[in-house]
Structure 1
Amino acid sequence: MITQLFSIIAPVFFGAAFGFVWARLDKPFDAEFVTSMVFNLGTPLLVFSTLTRLNTDPQVFADLAIVVVVAVFSFWLISFAVLKIARLDLRTYLATVMIPNTGNVGLPLSFLAFGEEGLAFAIIVYTIVSLTQFTVGLGIAAGSFSPKELLKNPLIYAVLAALLVMVTKYQLPDWLASTAHIYGQFAIPMMLIMLGVSLAKLKITSFPRNIALSLVRFSMGLGVGLVVSHLFGLEGTVRGVFVLQCAMPAAVFNYMLAMRYKNNPEEVAGLVVTSTLFAFATLPFLLAFVLKL
């Protein structure tokens, strides 16, 4: 078990550590370009390639999507209640506590722990959470919601295209399948490097408060993941991936939104860093647990 856990965790730590050290050494890194490439090219192709390479019933993904929506709604209810009780600003903290980092951390971990099948399930979770980030999360940060933002998300079109291929059982030409696979593969390592670069630029503030909120994010994610997956009868790999994704730390993108809309970015940065460090500290125990589900 120890060897298995190390083989899962080591690539994640290496990627994040490389990005962290690179940024600390003040090496050139065009974050805007890399983010755009990963979001607009790498991740959509990773989604399309992974989903179309597996012989999984599309209904399984549809059922999982419903479960994820229920989980995200549960996150919203619990986060809202906790922040109200603690009298903390909702625009600053709600999206950060509510939305887990199912991309930079969740996708690599799911792939390393559960293989390509696990990655496919993780992608469904990531897609729903990402859409939530660009709708609810953006609406919370901006104080308003624009449906146009949803249509700008390339993940929607990648998932729809993949589902169309799966439903029609269309055999992709070799050149298209190999192209999507090759260019989709750079997304996962770049996500980890981007995570490290982002963490290197953020500072921890209000440490006691952020430790408490990090504990809320982790325990809420784990608890909701276990309860919702049990209620919907998830088993095996799909349950392990779902619980793992639910328990991920606060998403780095929340800091970008806080910067854009001037919603106490220093506080959000502190929570993102603390939550991520907390997640790394508990990762061996979390992985050992979900691998036995």
Structure 2
Amino acid sequence: MNLDVFSTLFSVIAPVFLIAAIGYGWGKSGKTFDTPMVTMLVINIGVPCLVIDVLLNADLTAEALTEMALAAFLALSATVVVSAVVLKAWGLSFQAYLPALTFGNTGNMGLPLCLFAFGDEGLALAIGYFVVFIVLQFTLGIGVASGRFSPKELLTSPVIISVVIALGLMAGDVTLPKWADNTIGLLGGMTIPLMLLTLGVSLGRLHVQTLGRSAVLACLRLGLGFAAGWGVADLMDLEGIARGVVIVESAMPVAVFNYLFAVRYNAAPAEVAGMVVISTALSFATLPFLLLAVM
């Protein structure tokens, strides 16, 4: 690997790793960090503002965002089908393990990686991918973990509402007043740092009690996600930044939200915690190779 390639990879990975590491150290230190409050702040205010800010200021068409949303849906569908087959063959609980195998960390880790690897256009496309995942995670994911499905979660999601607003403004070629654009930009700007800090804090507070099954399933999550992303990118003939975003987002480790759902619904929380920690550690270790494959 020559110096230029190393410098490029380091400039992408270092900010993500260092901010998450600060959060990890904070979590391990025992200092106060209200994870539920920060998470709600990010989901209800930060992400919606980031969505509106990035989509309105990115030089992207609605067709490009629709293509990315379709890619996300196809990758997720492939992951669900293969995961379900594997879990059935191994005699493992769908309720406990299907959400963790299906939903990667497309937000806390995927968005900053796509920003630093592919720039503002990459972030805008990644948001198109992320929106599909977060909507399905908070509907299908919760439905599988809890055993019930609530359409209300979908209709009242601030992220979905922000996407509708952004697409409406884009379709009408509406320019926001400068004060509104600046305010939304400032609120959206807090999202990625808070996501990474929260990821680190959450990892620092998780306790891994079981390694064997968690490690196998963590490896399955990473391998299956990468394969699904690569396959969908080939199927849709995606090139350049769009291809890179789909593969990177699909290959993300187990999302921390899966652990929170597992705790809430008593769905093997100890093993899901192990999957989160192990898959995230492996993901950081393999990021240089992933980025080399797509950049």
Unmatched runs of 5 consecutive residues or more in structure 2: none
Residue 290 (structure 1) aligns with: 294
1:165 aligns with 2:166: no
- Which of 252, 275, 278 is 2:282 aligned to? 278
How much does 1:162 deviate? 0.8
Q: TM-score, normalised by structure 2?
A: 0.97
**Range that drifts further, 282-291 or 200-209:** 200-209
- Which of 264, 271, 275 is 2:268 aligned to? 264
Are 2:78 and 2:228, in contact at CA under 8 Å, matched by a contact in 1? yes
Residue 122 (structure 1) aligns with: 126
In the alignment, the residues of structure 2 paired with residue 6 and residue 15 of structure 1 have an alpha-carbon distance, to the nearest angstrom, of: 14
How much does 1:208 deviate? 2.3
1:88 aligns with 2:92: yes
Residue 250 (structure 1) aligns with: 254
- Which of 28, 37, 50 is 2:54 aligned to? 50
Q: What amino acid maps onto 1:233 in structure 2? A: D
How much does 1:55 deviate? 2.3
Q: What amino acid maps onto 1:278 in structure 2? A: L
**SS of 1:80's equivalent?**
helix
Are 2:213 and 2:271, in contact at CA under 8 Å, matched by a contact in 1? no
How much does 1:188 deviate? 0.2
Residue 195 (structure 1) aligns with: 199
Correspondence list, 1:1-293, <5 A: 1-291=5-295
Percent of matched pairs sharing the same residue: 44
How much does 1:168 deviate? 1.1
Paired positions, count:
291
Unmatched runs of 5 consecutive residues or more in structure 1: none
How much does 1:264 deviate? 1.6
1:160-214 deviation per Cα after TM superposition (whole angstroms, max 9, x unaligned): 1111111111111111111111110110011000001000111223312222112
> After TM superposition, where is structure 1 displaced by more than 4 Å over at least 4 residues in a row?
none
1:19-60 deviation per Cα after TM superposition (whole angstroms, max 9, x unaligned): 111111111111122111111111110011000001211111
1:242-262 deviation per Cα after TM superposition (whole angstroms, max 9, x unaligned): 100000001100111111111
1:235-286 deviation per Cα after TM superposition (whole angstroms, max 9, x unaligned): 1101101100000001100111111111121111111111111111111111
Are 2:105 and 2:256, in contact at CA under 8 Å, matched by a contact in 1? yes
**SS of 1:144's equivalent?**
coil
**Range that drifts further, 209-218 or 112-121:** 209-218
Q: What amino acid maps onto 2:155 in structure 1? A: L
1:80-104 deviation per Cα after TM superposition (whole angstroms, max 9, x unaligned): 0111111111111000011111001
Q: What amino acid maps onto 1:107 in structure 2? A: L
In the alignment, the residues of structure 1 paired with residue 40 and residue 72 of structure 2 have an alpha-carbon distance, to the nearest angstrom, of: 26
1:102-132 deviation per Cα after TM superposition (whole angstroms, max 9, x unaligned): 0010001000100110000000111000011
In the alignment, the residues of structure 1 paired with residue 8 and residue 185 of structure 2 have an alpha-carbon distance, to the nearest angstrom, of: 26
**SS of 1:103's equivalent?**
helix
In the alignment, the residues of structure 1 paired with residue 35 and residue 214 of structure 2 have an alpha-carbon distance, to the nearest angstrom, of: 26
In the alignment, the residues of structure 1 paired with residue 51 and residue 179 of structure 2 have an alpha-carbon distance, to the nearest angstrom, of: 17
In the alignment, the residues of structure 1 paired with residue 74 and residue 159 of structure 2 have an alpha-carbon distance, to the nearest angstrom, of: 20
Q: TM-score, normalised by structure 1?
A: 0.97
In the alignment, the residues of structure 1 paired with residue 71 and residue 246 of structure 2 have an alpha-carbon distance, to the nearest angstrom, of: 9
In the alignment, the residues of structure 1 paired with residue 8 and residue 59 of structure 2 have an alpha-carbon distance, to the nearest angstrom, of: 26
Q: CA RMSD in A?
A: 1.0
Q: What amino acid maps onto 1:5 in structure 2? A: L
